[in-house]
Structure 1
Amino acid sequence: MPQLASLPGRDIHKIVTLSHRCGHADGVEPFNEQTVLALQKPASPGREHFLVPQEDRPDHIIGYAQLEIVGTTAETELAVDPDHRRRGVGRALLRTVIDSLESNVTQIRTWAHGDLPSAAALARAEGFGRDRVLFQLGRDLDGFEWPVSWPKEARENWPVGAGAPVDLPAGIGLRSFETDRDEAEWTRVNAEAFADHPEQGRWTIADLRDRMGERWFDPEGLIVAEDARGMLGFHWTKVEGGVGEVYVLGVDPRSQGTGLGRALTLAGLAHMAAHGIRQIDLYTDESNTRAVELYRSMGFEVVRSDVQWAKRL
């Protein structure tokens, strides 16, 4: 089973094709955004790619796993071509990943997107336990109760309705993200807002710029809240394939509990609605009860669950 520190372009194409085949068969893509972005990255300490070629067609990839070491924890995602499942390929791939780990790694975690029964069966059979649940919530904006008024910084095309007005705490204003100016401040607020989050909170400026380099990135869709002391929060919206997403919503701890998170949420939704978007998705941890309650109060419902499985080594 080939194990590579970086991938040639031909293998990247095959892995993306594998991912699309899995998505078509399962109704959900097998890899998260971080894994997909890492396919094209140069070799980096702690990251490995595992390929399973088809026996009678060595140029055809039927299985793939990506491994990332973070401190003493190994994180992996894997996928097996739908036509080659139930033959032990996934089990062999997972065991190969685990066997490759150094002795200082004490835990391995893996995502099962869509919480599919087959993934759960494999995880349990290999000694993993459910560790974390990520909700995907969604709603249609038709019939959304928009506020009767917005703060003075709001854009003229934001929709209005009969809902409660959006008022910002005193001294706080809204604006769009500015490239080559806001990266450091955004990274600081993101780290503080998600200090307890195992993935989002460790984003670096390089991670931010990776996303800024994506075709869907629009600085006007990254709405920033600030006061005289600096950035206090942000709502980063994403539009792709005609669907909007509450991509990242973060509030500095010094402004949590002030209503700023709700105001930023509404501002981002209004920005997307003003650009003709009607369907909105978002992701949040099941354990983040405050966020789940906020989104449910705005009419969002759970449409999918992703499960992270973990095993002590």
Structure 2
Amino acid sequence: ALVSALAYGGARGIWAHGNLPAARALGQATGWSFGRILYKLGRPVAAGDALSPPLPAGYRLRGFRPGDESSWLAVNGRAFARHPEQGAVTRADLDRLLAQDWFDPEGLLLLIEEGTGEVVGSHWTKVDPAERGPGPDGIPVPAGEVYVVALDPRVHGRGLAGPLTQAGIAHLARRGLGSVVLYVDADNEPALRTYQRVGFTELEAHAQYQRDPGAP
């Protein structure tokens, strides 16, 4: 009844959290098909994670400061130009996020190009007291989140993605968290490779279904 009401109301997409067999069967029976898969990945904090990795020469990291809003939005927009949600973040959206209780300016790491002084990337971490992830023994423990990692396309291929990812993990490790989680689209293969290289594995898969054309 809920799926029918959504279709009647004009919904173009619905999420099935967990992507369970019953959800897939319901989608097939009611005229909805896969449109997008979102993975939740996680890994325990390991010995040595609290040490920030070296960056390639010519780059440095610093925390977010008032006045960085436009630079962050510009880089984030270019990095996620084709993303249905992250690529559409506005200044009003950003201001709402910066006002959240969980926001920590030191946890929003900005990647600075020394030669130009420009922001060319960022790693925004998030600590939600309710978040849990796998600890070293597999038992859920308090976790931090790799919230958004953005890298300007013009600096792709310079060996920055890995160290930028690790720098955010180091920040979370120094806060005493035992696990790190993140969300990534299944078709974002470069990001998946980066996360898998530093030990992330799949915890959950969520599916977005789209209404089939001509479905009753």
TM range (shorter): 0.7 to 0.9
Per the alignment, do residues 178 and 121 of structure 1 end up closer, same or farther by CA in structure 2, a change over 3 Å counting?
same
Asked whether 1:191 is paired with 2:77, we answer yes
SS class of match (1:216):
coil
Inter-partner Cα distance in structure 1 for 2:151 and 2:182: 16
Query: Deviation at 1:178?
Result: 0.9
Deviations 1:180-233 (A, max 9, x none): x11111111111101111111011111112222221111110000122252100
Look up the match of 1:244. Answer: 144
* TM-score w.r.t. length of structure 1: 0.60
Inter-partner Cα distance in structure 2 for 1:100 and 1:271: 44
The 8 Å contact of residues 51 and 170 in structure 2, kept in 1 or not, is answered as yes
Look up the match of 2:139. Answer: none
1:208 alignment partner, one of 77, 94, 97? 94
Query: Deviation at 1:131?
Result: 1.6
SS class of match (2:127):
strand
Query: Deviation at 1:142?
Result: 2.6
2:65 alignment partner, one of 169, 174, 178? 178
Amino acid at match of 2:79: A
Question: What 5-or-longer segments of structure 2 have no aligned partner?
Answer: 130-141
Deviations 1:93-121 (A, max 9, x none): 322232233xxxxx811111111233222
Look up the match of 2:56. Answer: 168
Question: What 5-or-longer segments of structure 1 have no aligned partner?
Answer: 1-91, 102-106, 147-157
Look up the match of 2:40. Answer: 136
Amino acid at match of 1:174: L
Matches within 5 A, 1:1-12: none
Equivalent pairs counted in the alignment come to 199
Inter-partner Cα distance in structure 2 for 1:190 and 1:219: 16
Asked whether 1:99 is paired with 2:8, we answer yes
1:269 alignment partner, one of 169, 179, 190? 169
Look up the match of 1:253. Answer: 153
SS class of match (2:55):
coil
Look up the match of 2:17. Answer: 113
Look up the match of 2:121. Answer: 233
Inter-partner Cα distance in structure 2 for 1:169 and 1:308: 41
Matches within 5 A, 1:58-77: none
Inter-partner Cα distance in structure 2 for 1:114 and 1:100: 24
CA RMSD for the aligned pairs? 1.8
Deviations 1:38-74 (A, max 9, x none): xxxxxxxxxxxxxxxxxxxxxxxxxxxxxxxxxxxxx
Look up the match of 2:138. Answer: none
Tell me which moved more, 230-239 or 255-264: 255-264
Inter-partner Cα distance in structure 2 for 1:214 and 1:243: 18
Asked whether 1:284 is paired with 2:196, we answer no
Higher relative contact order (CA 8 A, sep 6+): 2
Amino acid at match of 2:26: L
